[in-house]
Structure 1
Amino acid sequence: MPFSDGTGPLERALLKPDGTQSGGKQSSVRPISDQDFNRIIERGLSDGTGLLPRTGDVSIDETSNRVLDNRTPFIYEVERSRIDIVTSRAIRDRAFRRNVLDAYDSRCAFSGLKLINGGGRAEVEAAHIRPVEHGGPDAIANGLALSGTAHWMFDRGLISLNDDLTITISRHVNDLEGVRSFLQASQRATAPRVAAHRPHPNFLKWHRDNIYKH
């Protein structure tokens, strides 16, 4: 983030009462007002790419020929209700992830990639075939180890699995060859090392019937 924009420092608390910038030594750690915080966040979230918004009308600035995107003001704090199940859910999620990644040796079932960072953490995520909110259990047979991209496509119904673990691609995919090149050359998902951990046909059918875009 720049220290200032065209109107002065983003952190207005650094200004003197007369509007000039303070010349004294600034502390590296200091309190910040809500107004300054919101101003810095809004400035940081401005992508400036000029890409068209996903929905809604498009306005063009005739001077700069840039797309005008009227952003919703940043909300600093929102009151949210809290329930005890949040803690137990987090513990269950960690166990599910650990079990699924172990079953697939931390390798993406769709792409075959096994990426581990310097801290030993795997890139793949544990994806539910039938989501928990739709009655799916935290069972290995209801899970797949997927990279972020594969997980995104699977959850949005752009790819799915047949009972024999062949990968099916939705006709709604806009880059068919790109998706095919991302998947394993066999166009088949990697099976877990233990047969009992293989994706259950009932869960796969549910995904094809309810999530997959035919």
Structure 2
Amino acid sequence: MVKLVLLHKADSIYEDEPDVVYDFPRNYLRAMQEAVGDWIVYYEPVKAGPRGYFAVAKIDSVIPKPGVEGRFLALISPGTYLPFDSEVPRMGGGRLLERALSESDGSAKRGGAVQLAVRRLPEDEFARIVDLGLPQDLERLEAMRYETANPGLIEEPMTFERPVLERLTRRPYRDVAFRRKVREAYDYRCAISGLRLRNGGGRPEVQAAHIRPVDQKGSDSVRNGLALSGTLHWMFDRGLISIAEDCETILVSRNKVPADVVDRLIRPDGKLLHPIDPRNRPHPENLRWHRENRFGQVMGDEPTLWDRL
């Protein structure tokens, strides 16, 4: 197995969905086959956007692209895609993070390996890029983010040094990384109520909801997330609300949700609030999955929250 850097451009002729599939031509087939079962880093070139290295994922398998001669698809292992907390520029500490892109004097190469859409990545360089994009102490940073007490009186939680791959597969760590990216994408506003609520210490009350749950092959991509208040998160997970095919209209199971609850919780125009960056908007396929598999489902004997509103 081998780790890779995969170049991704949103406006490319290749039909990538970074958390699901990577589309590539035959000349990269051998490298992609060698990477099956291993991790890759996504990279957006400077001319295509400002992100640099922006996410990791694991390749599950490689198949021919149906109906397209000479093209192949690398299928991403469900639940492995994770966007970086901070995008990583290709240079760090005055040098390129990929040694293969450097001349002997440390300057950047022109042409050659620089232009490859699929590049082999040594283990130490992979670890370095991931550490920059997904810090070891991300959970501690999030826990301490809104503390207002005297810093000298705060007992910081202990941070354990964990190997990169252990960190990438730990659900608690991934949940923190997902929550930070989704809430930031929506500017800490609830996508359905439009409200930006904070508690007395300034901590945002909005939560990060998976549209398609991870245990149902959903990913930790921001495009599989919605920023929602606690009550609306509860309602969304139980299929009481969903989003229509236009990816904007809020659907309500009106035989289960009282009209006064709808009036109080949902934006007056009945439309979903979208992130400013269109790349972070909910993916239509994730919303379709939610409509078909969650919306209108039977709640069973679980008590409602209406008496608390």
Q: TM-score range by the shorter chain?
A: 0.5 to 0.7
Q: Out of 218, 233, 245, which is 1:136 matched to? A: 218
Displacement of 1:199: 0.5
Alpha-carbon distance in 2 for matches of 1:132, 1:201 = 17
Alpha-carbon distance in 2 for matches of 1:210, 1:100 = 22
* Corresponding residue number in structure 1 for 2:269: 186
1:116 aligns with 2:202: no
Give the secondary-structure state (helix, strand or coil) at the position aligned to 1:115: coil
Q: What is the TM-score of this pair, normalised by structure 2?
A: 0.40
* Corresponding residue number in structure 1 for 2:179: 97
Unmatched 5+ residue regions in structure 2? Answer: 1-165, 298-309
Instruction: Give 1:59-98 correspondences, 5 Å limit.
Output: 88-98=170-180
1:106 aligns with 2:183: no
* Corresponding residue number in structure 2 for 1:48: none
Q: What is the TM-score of this pair, normalised by structure 1?
A: 0.58
Displacement of 1:178: 2.1
Residues 141 and 89 of structure 1, relative CA distance in 2, 3 Å threshold: same
Which one-letter code corresponds to 2:295 in the other structure?
Y
1:199 aligns with 2:276: no
Give the secondary-structure state (helix, strand or coil) at the position aligned to 1:150: helix
After superposing on structure 2, the runs of 4+ consecutive aligned residues of structure 1 that deviate more than 3 Å are: 84-87
Residues 174 and 116 of structure 1, relative CA distance in 2, 3 Å threshold: closer
User: Which one has a larger percent strand, Structure 1 or Structure 2?
Assistant: 2
Alpha-carbon distance in 2 for matches of 1:111, 1:199 = 16
| Contact 2:179–2:207, Cα closer than 8 Å, also in 1 | yes
Q: Residue by residue, what CA displacement relative to the aligned partner does 1:102-123 show, whole Å, maximum 9, x if unpaired? A: 0000000001110112322110
Alpha-carbon distance in 2 for matches of 1:185, 1:117 = 24
1:209 aligns with 2:292: yes
Unmatched 5+ residue regions in structure 1? Answer: 1-83
How many percent identity over aligned positions?
53
Alpha-carbon distance in 2 for matches of 1:157, 1:141 = 19
Give the secondary-structure state (helix, strand or coil) at the position aligned to 1:138: coil
Alpha-carbon distance in 2 for matches of 1:177, 1:115 = 21
Which one-letter code corresponds to 1:101 in the other structure?
R
Instruction: Give the superposed CA RMSD.
Output: 1.9
Q: Residue by residue, what CA displacement relative to the aligned partner does 1:29-55 show, whole Å, maximum 9, x if unpaired? A: xxxxxxxxxxxxxxxxxxxxxxxxxxx
Aligned residues: 131
1:170 aligns with 2:250: no
Which one-letter code corresponds to 1:134 in the other structure?
Q
| Contact 1:110–1:150, Cα closer than 8 Å, also in 2 | yes
Give the secondary-structure state (helix, strand or coil) at the position aligned to 1:145: strand
Displacement of 1:189: 1.0
Alpha-carbon distance in 1 for matches of 2:245, 2:275 = 14
Alpha-carbon distance in 2 for matches of 1:128, 1:180 = 24
| Contact 1:180–1:187, Cα closer than 8 Å, also in 2 | no
| Contact 1:171–1:213, Cα closer than 8 Å, also in 2 | no
